[in-house]
Structure 1
């Protein structure tokens, strides 16, 4: 397919451009042009009027949605997740595991590999696996099951990677383990992106782990030692860093909007918006399971029934973007990068994903002037439409 997109605005990689035309050919973006050149033969123009064209969103930390969870060990659940995510503007995602036993994780990795290698039509694409656990410590366990916590073991990652067909792209670890530094170094040598999470490390421990390869701080402020003026902790390690990335859950519950704002404004090109969504995402309030833990959702906030810990979220990534537009002084293009280009950068996929730059895969969204999602396109093909959904429900 070869066509031009016409709209009032385009969220480009570094700025919001008004008007013009964006070429799409064979599932990839061409150049944006202020004026359409004379072409022969005539190439179709899709005119979206006052709409905004934006890059597809990339959720690099998501456990579940629509009643389905990655840890269900069920291809039906994974298919449901992939099918629902385009309605939230997500075109790419990393199915994310929870702390569990090795046998369960092996099975989960095999199932996700099937989804990656045989993607569904009209669905978001899984781009790899994020292994969140079991290499954590108990003080900041959150909704992870401490029964399965263990020291970092690269041999176990190798087994899981073999089961996944090489699709594990991101692994989290608690930085205070003595084994953390050599473990992260081995991940980096293998081309796997290291992350720090559910950790009570001090600044020195976290700094060593970060320099060894732990370049992604998982759901910053949550599940880690906080910032103190005499002990910077894991949070301070990120704020002091130059090149690390930090995930933020921008729902206003996990992190106060003011803290979200100053963190994002301090390092906008290193901030990643995630959902950390569990199976209650896109579902009503009620009782759910997150792994083996009972969770109650009230007012969209998920907490474990045992101790009231926050248990993931029900946030949708497009809503996280809208929240950050409200809560920060950053422009729309800068905020949008946090949910598209920055996530792709954090896992080394920005060469083909994350923006409307020429040569990249043509994942894009069509938004109304009030930022309501109208259409979702993946690789140059429409996979979701609000109008078609409305018609189907009538």
Structure 2
């Protein structure tokens, strides 16, 4: 299939192109031209902007569903819900839980991917846990915490048919450094999370292959001028990616803006959204924990933040406001940077020739009018 998109603005990696026609051929981005013939198939989005599809690499659920439900329906509904919010790719994310529940979640994702997801596409599974520490457990269930086991992980990976793309762990646990080296060699990305690791331990983990810090500042040892801690390692490392939940609650706006100054395109926007995203205030669950939503804020019974109800596009809007940076620069922190963190930047993440035609059509209020994956529309506001 070959067609052109006519729009007022196109958000490219380093610039905005005004007034043109973006060619899409067989689901792949081609060039932007300023003239077309009367015989060309043109989809007219005059008055609107076209941006790359968003990629949420850390999301548990939305609209009442959660990956840990362990059902095909949950995975399917999350895929559809994300498409309506401009997300074209995502990593279904698990929680620390029993082996039985993790097996169910993995099998549900695998089954739905094999059948074909109707909305946003899964780019693999993200195991958030269970190799964490109690000190910064957050909303993870500590009764399932354990030291990493390569044998156990390989069983999960076998069950997933190789779909586990990323795992988060606390690097101070016994045997973790060798575990990082082993899974990294197999092509799995390793993240640091829910940890009390000091600076030296984190640096060793990075040397062994860890390349990302999960929801920076939350669930980890903070920075002190005599002990840089986990946060100090994240900010000091030139090549490591850091995730931020830009809802104004998990991280203060000024700290988020400072982090952008320090990390630039190594800052990755995520939601860490749970099932209450897009839902009214009330009582919900996150894994085995009851969670209360008040004014859109998710908290456990002890008052701890329990994931978020953030939409990725709102995180973009927030960081734009806090940093006063151009939209195209911040937008790519939720599209191209996530792709880079997994080694997918040559496939998608930006509007560039040869990449998969994942795009979002936006109105002047940055509301999603249309979402497409591989050049095929998967959501239309009308």
Instruction: Tell me if both proteins adopt one fold, taking TM over 0.5 as the criterion.
Output: yes
In structure 1, C-alpha distance between the alignment counterparts of 2:26 and 2:155, rounded to whole Å = 37
In structure 2, C-alpha distance between the alignment counterparts of 1:367 and 1:280, rounded to whole Å = 25
Bigger mean CA deviation after superposition, 237-246 or 323-332: 323-332
Residue 247 of structure 1 and its aligned partner are, at CA, apart by: 0.5
Stretches of structure 2 that go unaligned for 5 or more consecutive residues are: none
- Work out the number of aligned pairs and report it: 382
Bigger mean CA deviation after superposition, 156-165 or 329-338: 329-338
In structure 2, C-alpha distance between the alignment counterparts of 1:231 and 1:299, rounded to whole Å = 36
Matches within 5 A, 1:213-292: 213-292=209-288
In structure 1, C-alpha distance between the alignment counterparts of 2:276 and 2:155, rounded to whole Å = 30
Given that 2:6 and 2:42 are in contact with CA atoms closer than 8 Å, whether structure 1 keeps it comes out as yes
Residues 1:72 and 2:69 aligned together: yes
Given that 1:116 and 1:127 are in contact with CA atoms closer than 8 Å, whether structure 2 keeps it comes out as no
In structure 1, C-alpha distance between the alignment counterparts of 2:108 and 2:71, rounded to whole Å = 7
In structure 1, C-alpha distance between the alignment counterparts of 2:183 and 2:16, rounded to whole Å = 37
Given that 2:133 and 2:145 are in contact with CA atoms closer than 8 Å, whether structure 1 keeps it comes out as yes
With the length of structure 1 as denominator, give the TM-score of the two structures.
0.95
In structure 2, C-alpha distance between the alignment counterparts of 1:7 and 1:168, rounded to whole Å = 37
Given that 1:265 and 1:330 are in contact with CA atoms closer than 8 Å, whether structure 2 keeps it comes out as no
In structure 1, C-alpha distance between the alignment counterparts of 2:264 and 2:31, rounded to whole Å = 25
Which whole-Å deviations, capped at 9, do the CAs of 1:212-233 have from their partners, x for residues lacking one?
1111100000000011111111
State the superposition RMSD in angstroms.
Answer: 1.1
In structure 2, C-alpha distance between the alignment counterparts of 1:273 and 1:362, rounded to whole Å = 21
In structure 1, C-alpha distance between the alignment counterparts of 2:212 and 2:122, rounded to whole Å = 19
Given that 1:59 and 1:339 are in contact with CA atoms closer than 8 Å, whether structure 2 keeps it comes out as yes
Give the secondary-structure state (helix, strand or coil) at the position aligned to 1:83. Answer: helix
Which one of the candidate residues 359, 362, 367 is aligned to 1:364? 359
Stretches of structure 1 that go unaligned for 5 or more consecutive residues are: 389-394
Residue 181 of structure 1 and its aligned partner are, at CA, apart by: 1.0
Which whole-Å deviations, capped at 9, do the CAs of 1:282-309 have from their partners, x for residues lacking one?
101111110000100101110101x111
In structure 1, C-alpha distance between the alignment counterparts of 2:35 and 2:129, rounded to whole Å = 51
Other-structure match for 1:317: 312
Given that 2:8 and 2:49 are in contact with CA atoms closer than 8 Å, whether structure 1 keeps it comes out as yes
In structure 2, C-alpha distance between the alignment counterparts of 1:32 and 1:230, rounded to whole Å = 52
Other-structure match for 1:185: 181
Residue 356 of structure 1 and its aligned partner are, at CA, apart by: 0.7
Given that 1:250 and 1:260 are in contact with CA atoms closer than 8 Å, whether structure 2 keeps it comes out as yes
Give the secondary-structure state (helix, strand or coil) at the position aligned to 1:8. Answer: strand
Which whole-Å deviations, capped at 9, do the CAs of 1:32-85 have from their partners, x for residues lacking one?
23x2255xx822122211211000000000001011000011111111111111
Other-structure match for 1:392: none
Bigger mean CA deviation after superposition, 18-27 or 129-138: 18-27
In structure 1, C-alpha distance between the alignment counterparts of 2:261 and 2:24, rounded to whole Å = 33
Give the secondary-structure state (helix, strand or coil) at the position aligned to 1:369. Answer: coil
Given that 2:71 and 2:104 are in contact with CA atoms closer than 8 Å, whether structure 1 keeps it comes out as no
In structure 1, C-alpha distance between the alignment counterparts of 2:276 and 2:139, rounded to whole Å = 14
Go from structure 1 to structure 2 and tell me whether the alpha carbon gap of 1:37 and 1:67 turns closer, same or farther (over 3 Å shift). closer
Given that 2:8 and 2:19 are in contact with CA atoms closer than 8 Å, whether structure 1 keeps it comes out as yes
Which one of the candidate residues 129, 134, 140 is aligned to 1:138? 134
Residue 103 of structure 1 and its aligned partner are, at CA, apart by: 2.0
Other-structure match for 1:374: 369
In structure 2, C-alpha distance between the alignment counterparts of 1:230 and 1:184, rounded to whole Å = 27
In structure 1, C-alpha distance between the alignment counterparts of 2:182 and 2:353, rounded to whole Å = 34
Which one of the candidate residues 274, 289, 303 is aligned to 1:293? 289
Give the secondary-structure state (helix, strand or coil) at the position aligned to 1:18. Answer: strand
With the length of structure 2 as denominator, give the TM-score of the two structures.
0.98
Which whole-Å deviations, capped at 9, do the CAs of 1:321-351 have from their partners, x for residues lacking one?
1111111132111101110000011111112
Given that 1:67 and 1:279 are in contact with CA atoms closer than 8 Å, whether structure 2 keeps it comes out as yes
Bigger mean CA deviation after superposition, 246-255 or 345-354: 345-354
Residues 1:341 and 2:305 aligned together: no
In structure 2, C-alpha distance between the alignment counterparts of 1:17 and 1:259, rounded to whole Å = 31
Given that 2:63 and 2:276 are in contact with CA atoms closer than 8 Å, whether structure 1 keeps it comes out as yes
Give the secondary-structure state (helix, strand or coil) at the position aligned to 1:7. Answer: strand
In structure 2, C-alpha distance between the alignment counterparts of 1:264 and 1:287, rounded to whole Å = 34
Given that 2:170 and 2:196 are in contact with CA atoms closer than 8 Å, whether structure 1 keeps it comes out as yes
Other-structure match for 1:104: 101
Residue 120 of structure 1 and its aligned partner are, at CA, apart by: 2.7
In structure 2, C-alpha distance between the alignment counterparts of 1:343 and 1:205, rounded to whole Å = 25
Give the secondary-structure state (helix, strand or coil) at the position aligned to 2:135. Answer: coil
After TM superposition, where is structure 1 displaced by more than 4 Å over at least 4 residues in a row? none
In structure 2, C-alpha distance between the alignment counterparts of 1:127 and 1:137, rounded to whole Å = 27
